[in-house]
Structure 1
Amino acid sequence: RQGDVHMQTQAAVLRDATGAYAIETVELADPGPGEVRVRVVGAGMCHTDVLPRAGIVAPPIVTGHEGAGVVDAVGEGVTRVQP
């Protein structure tokens, strides 16, 4: 989703299938309607994170989708969680 950038964080990014993962600063938008933003405090890498290196998923890709964290912002209409 494209939106106004209001936060930066660091992420493990793979830019091409032959390269190495790199920790990069990435920009995050505020959550839109029905979305939440989570401040990730830990994330693991699993077998799906190697798919770009195998040519199955096209990079660039931010890896570590199995995360745990705290909701720090909610978009319009979100009622089941709160920061």
Structure 2
Amino acid sequence: MALRGRVLKRGKEPMSWTTAIILGTLIYFMAILVLGQLPSLIIYKFDQYVAEIIEFSKSLPGVGETGLTTLWIRTIRDIVANT
């Protein structure tokens, strides 16, 4: 309960310039890391789980009964890699 009270009290105080700059810099670097790592993770998973992606795509509306072909999977992977 004391921690909650301290957080609420701290939340009502104005933020100093130093704290704002440090917090903004941390948020900026975290966003760069997350946004830079996400496409790499998608590419890695698309390369590793081709059969599972084909099976999953069969249940998607607008995709044929056979699911996505390996050409479509490579195309999606390349779009993610180049954007």
- Do these two structures clear the TM 0.5 threshold for a shared fold by scoring above it? no
Q: Given the two structures, how large is their TM-score scaled by the length of structure 2?
A: 0.24
More helix by share: 2
Larger CA Rg, structure 1 vs 2: 2
Which one scores higher on RCO, CA 8 angstroms, separation ≥ 6?
A: 1
TM-score with structure 1 length normalisation? Answer: 0.24
